[in-house]
Structure 1
Amino acid sequence: MRLSIIIPALHDAALLEETMLSVLENRPANADVVVVHTGFYTDPYELAGEVKFVEARSASSEADCWMVGAAATSGEIVHLLSSGVVAVAGWADGVRALFADPAVAAVSPALRVGDAIASIGVAADSLGYRRYLPLEEGKSLVGPSRLAGFYRRTWLEPLLPAAAQLGDEAADLDLAYSLKAQGLLSRPTAASQLIVKSHCFDQQRDFASAAAAERLRARHPQQFETTGYWNQVLSQTLKSLPSPKAAIGVLLGHLSGGRGERPVSLEPAEIDTSPATIRMPQRPSSSSHSDRAAA
């Protein structure tokens, strides 16, 4: 299986280069590297022969860049890797073997801060916000985080347009719950490790994140409890935010975020284990608003 590594970059050249150079230094066999940026990167190290640079000038999120990158690659496995995440030797070794199981749609690598594993993947909390899971909670994993994840292309591509509409606040969770709704598997693995900075796990509580959490809950209602929900919203909002103005913004996000959002409708996956291929169910297509112009 060929591996396509997609690195989105919105504005920070230093973070992009940190990730890009670490990937090239430890490049897996049979892998292509695509950097999707918003037009700011000038390739000062002349890496165009090693990396495919694609401009997406109207992209406003990494999730927008994912769609552009997926259209510019062809590997059976797609590795989404945020700028600032550092690849180490052998980080992709063994991942292809996990995809030998045709029911596996995603693989979540371990994220290290220093020498300690800080996260093995993500799930949503009761309010719909992203929760990074420590290694010991790997059985609760729903899918990979936006920081790093491996996906089977055939299942990832149809879900990207709808997931990108939730922005970076919840696109990874939407992908994870959509795959789960189809009966597909997301596997954690501590054998694949990357290095991140501790601040990468900081969680924003603002209007945008609250609205995305509500949209996620509306799209996947079967995954969330409703009893006492608004009491939780009020309690956690008032306790966790430093000012009334910030709390009001979060509450407004919760109140308005899910309006007009409908539950996703996905048929169970048809997995053919005999030829080790998967047939995708039909689903309504969503329009993409990203640019797809190769530099």
Structure 2
Amino acid sequence: MRLSIIVPATGPQSALDNSLVSVLENLPDQTEVLVPHHEEYEDPYDLGEEVTFVASPQAAPIGLLKAGIAASQSEFIHVLMNGVEVTAGWTEPVIQRFKRDSSLAAVSTTIRDSKQSKIAGIRYRGGGSASAVRASRRNKASIDGPCLEASFFRKSSIETLGELDEQLCIRQTNADMAARLKSCGLACEHESDSVVRGELSSLPSGYLSSRQLERVYRRHRPRMGRTAPLMHLMATTANVTRHGPSWGLLTSTLGHCWGNLQARWSAETHWEPGDRESTILKFPNKNATADDRGAEDLCVEDRRAA
């Protein structure tokens, strides 16, 4: 197989059906479709001959995604979250891009949402949060990572980035993955000719989103340079004040406090790249800033010291 398309079975059944129908109607050659699902999920449309269903004890989206990645048999992996619909020929420009440039670890599609906005990818801000980057006709979008809702990865790069965190929502996993790619200088680019339709995932409640933001920030703080504390303060302030004078403001503040304590004392929040130093060194980021190169050097030095 050349490509594995992973569609985790989360959310409403109708959204999953729409995603699968669009994929199967436009399925390229040498491609397998994997649907990781909770062990209680059933196949109501008898798609067993066209789709490989992967049972998982985890019901959370990231847990399901990990099960799909583990079951994949291809060089390239395409993650498509529930409800996102593809268009004809959306995989080919991405695969060709991977083949032309062996330094690419990930590629972000163009996600066209209901407001006709075009999302190109994710930029990590250094404070535990990330922002979506809009596609531009004039300038090449500068991104640190793809939107997990519709993203492509070289499977070897996923192994380098390490195990995904099941305690994070999709939105915070976007930030986490972008930070990992940025830390190790692994290249991610936007492919404007690969278009899908869908929405970016929403953040959970104020308490959960605040706790997860702290988790991501503490995980990547050592590699994000001197401006990281300032960016974290700005991200925390924006996250708390977006609720206004309400109960959400209090729960968001508590989430930041508890997440901070958890991240400081829990070994689970510590992240190291996978044991693939040769892969890390293989993907130089040609557009890296001085701070980015410093983070990349630290990443490589950590691997050599391990």
1:2 corresponds to: 2
What is the CA deviation profile of residues 187-234 of structure 1, one whole-angstrom value per residue up to 9, with x for unaligned ones?
Answer: 11111010014xx35444511111111111111123373455675366
Distance 1:15 1:205 in 2: 22
Normalising by structure 2, report the TM-score.
0.79
Q: In terms of mean alpha carbon deviation, does 33-42 or 202-211 score higher?
A: 202-211
Q: Does residue 155 in structure 1 map to residue 157 in structure 2?
A: yes
Alpha-carbon shift at residue 254 of structure 1 (Å): 1.5
Could you say which residue in structure 2 is the equivalent of 1:287? Answer: none
C-alpha distance in structure 1 between counterparts of 2:240 and 2:256, whole Å:
13
| Residues 1:64 and 2:75 are matched in the alignment | no
Q: Contact 2:109–2:146 (CA<8 Å) still a contact in 1?
A: yes
- Tell me the residue number matched to 2:250: 248
Of 126-135 and 16-25, more deviation after overlay is shown by: 126-135
Sequence identity (%): 28
Alignment match, 1:139:
141
Q: Which secondary structure does the structure 2 equivalent of 1:99 belong to?
A: helix
1:93 and 1:114, CA in 2 relative to 1: closer, same or farther beyond 3 A? farther
Aligned to 1:223: 224
Other-structure match for 1:93 = 92
In structure 2, C-alpha distance between the alignment counterparts of 1:159 and 1:12, rounded to whole Å: 30
Q: What's the counterpart of residue 288 of structure 2?
A: none
Match of 2:271 among 257, 264, 271: 264
Residue 121 (structure 1) aligns with: 121
For 1:166, which of 165, 168, 179 is the aligned residue?
Answer: 168
- Per chain length, whose mean CA-contact separation is higher, i.e. which structure has more relative contact order (CA < 8 Å, sep 6+)? 1
TM-score when scaled to structure 1?
A: 0.81
Asked if the contact 1:108/1:148 (under 8 Å) is kept, the reply is yes
CA contact (8 A) 1:104 1:187 kept: yes
User: In structure 1, what residue type is equivalent to 2:272?
Assistant: S
Structure 2 vs 1, CA of residues 73 and 212 (structure 1 numbering), >3 Å: closer, same or farther? Answer: same
Return the alpha-carbon distance in structure 2 between the equivalents of residues 249 and 40 of structure 1.
33
Partner AA of 2:134 in structure 1: P
Cross-structure match for 2:112: 112
| Number of residue pairs the alignment of both structures matches | 273
| CA distance in 1: counterparts of 2:149 and 2:65, whole angstroms | 12
Equivalent residue, structure 1, for 2:293: none
Taking a change above 3 Å as real, the CA distance of residues 172 and 38 of structure 1, as seen in their structure-2 partners, is same
Counterpart code for 1:33: V
Deviation per CA, 1:87-141: give whole Å up to 9, x if none.
1101111111221222110000000125834311112346423322111385331
| Alpha-carbon separation, structure 1, partners of 2:236 and 2:62 | 29
Partner amino acid, structure 2, of 1:84: G
Residues 254, 69 of structure 1: alpha-carbon distance in 2 compared, 3 angstrom cutoff: same
What amino acid is the match of 2:103? A
Query: Are positions 1:188 and 2:187 aligned together?
Result: no
Instruction: Report the RMSD for the aligned CA atoms in angstroms.
Output: 2.8
For residues 155-198 of structure 1, what are the alpha-carbon distances to aligned partners after superposition, in whole Å with 9 as ceiling and x for unaligned? 1135352433434342232222212222210011111010014x
Specify the code of the residue in structure 1 equivalent to 2:158: L
Distance across 2 between alignment mates of 1:236 and 1:176: 20
| Paired residues of 1:129 and 1:209 also in contact (CA < 8 A) | no
For 1:54 and 1:46, the matched residues in 2 are separated by 14
Distance between the aligned counterparts of 1:67 and 1:231, measured in 2? 32
8 Å CA contact retained: 2:149, 2:201: no
* Counterpart amino acid of residue 104 in structure 2: V
1:140-161 deviations in Å (ceiling 9; x for gaps): 3111112110001011135352
User: Where does the alignment leave 5 or more consecutive residues of structure 2 unmatched?
Assistant: 285-299
Task: Give 1:63 deviation, angstroms.
Answer: 1.1
Contact 1:163/1:172 (8 A) holds in 2: no
Aligned ranges 1:22-33 → 2 under 5 Å:
22-33=22-33
Matched AA of 1:260 = W
Report the AA paired with residue 23 of structure 2.
V
Inter-partner Cα distance in structure 1 for 2:131 and 2:258:
22
| Structure 2: distance between partners of 1:205 and 1:115 | 24
